[in-house]
A and B are shown apart, each in its own frame.
Chain A
């Protein structure tokens, strides 16, 4: 049986020689993730097992990031529930405020995910780790509870769509433009239940951070997972961060894909998702004049050091438009420290931006930058649903860090390649 990369990895974790699309399997997971919103529900379900121990205290990661640092009393109770559980069950990878970060930036940075891992997380953007050649996917709280108790999860083996990448990005274009372009092309249910497998010579021109951004938004096209092959760029990253031994799975040469989509990276333009679905994408000639009130640079999609550097390059020596609040959220404490040491904060603060502690915050309309009625934000986050960042009549425009920074300076949605930026 010819298998895709995702199918091979799943077969291995289920202890099977091969699997076929549609097959339901029970597999061993390498990591179970939860956050301050989903964990409390899972913890209640976990209690039904009546276990004194979790399946493996090293293989569970609990990250308070959504409403942390505690935004209000209810959030404080949720975080407390998770903290108590982590303490009672001796969970190694519990990240208290001060050590934390946005889960999907934090886990790879801490070396908790490696190539060949099978990861489930009670958070839909768990698909991010596909960038490292892992099979990772978002699940419900019940799955998380069972994962914590037994180390197992069931899967329906997905078919795959292959995205064959060639060429190289132009100046100020990156992973975010690519994934928004793809979602705009195939739609929010374009790869429903399928794997997105990225291949081709263009991969070598994608940094690991580009890959994180692309894999992160696979869910926004309805995918079960997004996955990249493991190459030297992956292995270098894993060596620098990893504590675990990578295992490389490769698609069979004659693996069957539902579809193959060719993408030449040199043709990708600055791409922005207009309200209120990620597939409502437009390139600069279609933007018109979109005046904005807020810019958010951060999140599990684009809150990494390279994203901050891209923003800093554009903001250096400039002033944020007086009508705009520019909020920058480094995704983890480590990224925060490095950005500070590199002098990026000085650039941001001199330009008139604020730098927040790591948190999901405004991405899900939680705290640290909620929009009022009628306000518009350009944001490097991943969802622009109605009311996602605040009032139901506020609007979110999804973009990469270059577009976000250029827009912060202009006060309207702006293309970083538009001459005088």
Chain B
């Protein structure tokens, strides 16, 4: 499974309030949440994001509240993968659980700029900056975690597995 798209670049401590501001949490409809994704930190995001695009950020991405609305908004907006130096732990869990692939790779974060074309191979953990022609290695997901993401999240994965 691979992802390919242009990079959006953010700094440290991108919190769940800027990913999806609390004022929009009166809805839990994914498409409505996606309309406001990242708007407090980047008002161009929702206007320019295309299916497959990738978010690249520094440390502690997704810190703050445990709202599952945050990874849902990112995923629904078309983002195929988030790469960061580190993730806040509940965001990490929630992302995987709803089937949003995320990778930790400090090297990649230091060497990818806004707009760079990036390719991610989830099986090998290889991240390629196609614009700059540099490769980085993140810890690949084990098979079951890849299947989990392919299935579209934890519940779907477990349900499918239980049927076998």
Contacts and interface: CB of A to CB of B under 8 A. Distances in A.
A48 B153 CA distance: 12
Interface residues of B, number: 28
Contacts, number: 70
Q: Is the interface of B mostly helix, strand, loop or mixed?
A: helix
Contact of B144 (A26, A143, A222): A26
Interface stretch (A149-157, A298-306, A364-372, A389-397): A149-157
Contacts of B162: 49, 149-150
A156 B158 contact: no
Contacts of B141: 24
A198 to B, nearest CB: 19
Interface size on A, as a range, is 20 to 34
Given A154-B145, A192-B89, A143 B158 contact: no
A140 B66 contact: yes
Interface in B96-143: 96-98, 104, 139, 141-142
A40 to B, nearest CB: 13
Contacts of B93: 139-140, 143
A189 interface: yes
Interface class of chain A by DSSP: mixed
B84 to A, nearest CB: 12
Contacts of A45: 155
A45 B154 CA distance: 10
B1 interface: no
Contacts of B22: none
A141 interface: yes
B158 A146 contact: yes
Given A48-B155, A142-B154, A189 B68 contact: no
Ordered nearest first, which 7 A-B pairs have the shortest CB separation? A142-B97, A193-B89, A24-B145, A146-B158, A22-B139, A48-B155, A146-B154
Interface of A: 22-26, 45, 48-50, 124, 138-143, 145-146, 149-150, 152, 154, 156, 189, 192-193, 222, 224
